[in-house]
């Protein structure tokens, strides 16, 4: 039987990156698409109050996924290293350990987030007119965290083995399901933001179930040796590896998300128009991050496999290819946004000129965000793929806390640039991982993690 595991330790690096990243990009596009569907449909029915509610509620729920994404990304890197080192027999048992850990984590996070929902929304300076709707949206999303955690875990297992095509298929299913249910719940049943959140949870549950069934049915093609006990009794060795790498990655995501919530909470205090535009701006920025996130994920897998196989030259080749691709696409996106800025903002604001007017000065910020994402992807691939948890932790502290909070407060309050200053601080902080990664790369300390390929047998 032909194996479905992809070996990235040989072959054309540029082609491998593009072929592997393309489905990841489309998966991210689908993710943004159905988030935008929520915002657009709610905006059409409830106006700028609905947009603000989905924006704030969505920001809060995104924060709660930091454990899922952080530990899933860590699991992806570890699995990629098993592939590169020729230790594929460990993947099945490690998958069981990761599933156990993330399942328990999702239940704990759901309970805690529901208990502290109101204080969190108040902390974010949610506009009073949008508070009730934001509360309804976030509550429903919190109850469905298990499915979001589960989907991220199964997708990470597939990506670690070099399969990015099937996660795209499953997220596409979720996007279509979400679109249909949004129309049914929000437009026809008038369920408002609660309906939009319910559509999101059901679509995520559908994707998780289908993805899990697929992996189980095709487990032999992926050379997965699993037993039920792997999912009930996690192995200390694998749990230790997952926690050691997952905690810095989760903290990095959490600190960035918390600092962004801090920035957005100050922005929200400037009124409903600014809050609504901020939600739109975040969606525009998320589109630019599609490429950088896809290339970062693909690059992490390639770096992980080649690090484990001891392929130093190929690791450097991955970095060069990432630079060419991400910077070229960021330039293209900047040009498109420059040409159609008013039309893009007006589309989501449903022609509300009071919201569109807020974005008159946003273009320079957008360009900074686009390029920050590109530079961040290049070095995050090395930081994550090398498995260096200490540098990852340092990046988390500087990117999420010191730089983003520091620069936002400096420009927004000290320099009295108001909400524009908070945007500027957020954008400039995005270059932090690149600077840290550059020092890490030229120091050569990443080479200490180079391994030697083995053969299963």
Res 22: pLDDT: 93
Q: What is the pLDDT of residues 405-439, one digit of tens each?
A: 899 999 999 998 988 899 899 899 999 999 999 99
Q: What is the mean pLDDT of residues 50-72?
A: 86
Q: 388 is written with which tokens? A: 């260096």
* Cα distance between residue 81 and residue 201, in whole Å: 32
* Cα distance between residue 122 and residue 278, in whole Å: 17
- Would you list the DSSP string of 195-239? HHHHHHHHHHHHHHHHHHHHHHHTTTTTT----HHHHHS--HHHH
Average per-residue pLDDT in the chain? 87
- Name 372's Cβ contacts closer than 8 Å, sequence gap at least 6: 427, 428, 430, 431, 434
pTM of the model: 0.80
Determine what percent of the chain is predicted with pLDDT higher than 90: 42
Q: What is the pLDDT of residues 206-257, one digit of tens each?
A: 999 999 999 988 888 887 887 788 788 888 999 999 998 898 888 888 887 7
Q: Which residue has the tokens 């920035």?
A: 263
Q: What is the mean pLDDT of residues 97-117?
A: 95
Buried b (16+ CB within 10 A) or exposed e, 49-69: bbbbbbbbbbbbbbbbbbbbb
Q: 75 is written with which tokens? A: 């699991």
Q: What is the pLDDT of residues 131-171, one digit of tens each?
A: 999 999 999 999 999 999 999 999 999 999 989 999 999 98
Length of the chain: 457
Contact criterion met (CB below 8 Å) for 83 and 162:
yes
> For residue 413, what is the DSSP state?
I
Task: Report residue 457's pLDDT band, with 50, 70 and 90 as the boundaries.
Answer: very low
Q: 410 is written with which tokens? A: 């400096």
Res 177: pLDDT: 92
Task: Report residue 454's pLDDT band, with 50, 70 and 90 as the boundaries.
Answer: low
Res 184: pLDDT: 94
Task: Report residue 453's pLDDT band, with 50, 70 and 90 as the boundaries.
Answer: low
* Cα distance between residue 166 and residue 173, in whole Å: 11
Res 387: pLDDT: 82
Angle between helix axes 418-429 and 236-268 (nearest 10 degrees) is 160
* Cα distance between residue 104 and residue 97, in whole Å: 11
Q: 7 is written with which tokens? A: 């070996």
Q: Give CA torsion, residues 99, 103, 106, 111, to 10 deg.
A: -170
Q: Give the H or E element holding residue 175.
A: helix 165-182
Q: What is the pLDDT of residues 375-408, one digit of tens each?
A: 999 999 999 898 887 888 888 788 877 898 899 9
**Of the candidate ranges 37-51, 104-118, 197-211, 409-423, the one whose mean pLDDT is the lowest:** 37-51
Q: 274 is written with which tokens? A: 């600014």
Position 47 pLDDT exceeds 90: no
User: Which among 320, 295, 293, 300 is positioned nearest to 385, based on CA atoms?
Assistant: 300
Q: How far is CA 83 from CA 67, 193, 281, 413, in A?
A: 24, 43, 39, 50
């Amino acid at each position: 039987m032909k194996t479905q595991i992809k070996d990235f330790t040989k072959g054309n690096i540029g082609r491998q990156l593009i072929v592997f990243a393309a489905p990841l990009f489309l998966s991210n596009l689908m993710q943004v698409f159905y988030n935008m569907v929520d915002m657009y449909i709610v905006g059409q029915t409830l106006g700028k109050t609905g947009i603000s509610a989905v924006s704030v509620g969505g920001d809060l729920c995104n924060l709660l996924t930091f454990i899922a994404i952080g530990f899933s990304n860590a699991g992806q890197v570890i699995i990629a290293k098993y592939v590169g080192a020729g230790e594929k027999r460990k993947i099945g048992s490690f998958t069981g350990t990761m599933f156990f850990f993330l399942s328990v984590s999702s239940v704990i996070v759901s309970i805690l987030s529901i208990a502290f929902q109101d204080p969190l929304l108040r902390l974010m300076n949610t506009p009073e007119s949008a508070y009730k709707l934001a509360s309804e949206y976030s509550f429903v999303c919190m109850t469905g965290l298990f499915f979001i955690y589960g989907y991220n875990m199964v997708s990470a297992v597939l990506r670690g083995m070099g399969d990015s095509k099937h996660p795209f298929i499953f997220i596409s299913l979720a996007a279509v399901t979400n679109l249909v249910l949004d129309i049914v719940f929000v437009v026809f049943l008038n369920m408002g933001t609660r309906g939009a959140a319910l559509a999101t949870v059901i679509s995520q549950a559908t994707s998780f179930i289908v993805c899990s069934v697929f992996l189980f049915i095709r487990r032999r093609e992926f050379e997965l040796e699993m037993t039920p006990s792997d999912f009930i009794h996690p192995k200390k060795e694998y749990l230790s590896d997952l926690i050691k790498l997952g905690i810095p990655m989760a903290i990095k995501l959490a600190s960035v998300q918390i600092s962004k919530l801090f920035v957005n909470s100050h922005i929200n205090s400037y009124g409903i128009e600014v809050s609504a535009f901020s939600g739109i701006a975040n969606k525009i920025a998320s589109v630019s991050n599609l490429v950088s996130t896809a290339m970062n994920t693909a690059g992490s897998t390639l770096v992980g496999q080649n690090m484990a196989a001891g392929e130093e030259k190929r690791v450097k080749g991955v970095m060069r290819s990432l630079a060419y691709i991400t910077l070229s696409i960021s330039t293209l996106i900047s040009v498109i946004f420059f040409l159609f800025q008013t039309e893009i903002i007006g589309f989501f604001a449903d022609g509300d000129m009071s919201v569109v007017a807020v974005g008159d000065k946003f273009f320079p910020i957008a360009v900074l965000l686009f390029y920050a994402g590109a530079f961040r992807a290049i070095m995050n691939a090395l930081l994550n793929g090398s498995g260096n948890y200490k540098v990852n932790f340092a990046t988390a502290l500087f990117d999420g806390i010191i730089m983003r909070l520091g620069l936002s407060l400096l420009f927004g309050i000290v320099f009295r640039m108001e909400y524009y200053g908070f945007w500027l601080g957020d954008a400039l902080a995005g270059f932090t991982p690149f600077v840290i990664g550059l020092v890490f790369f030229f120091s050569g300390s990443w080479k200490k993690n180079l391994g030697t390929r083995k053969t299963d047998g």
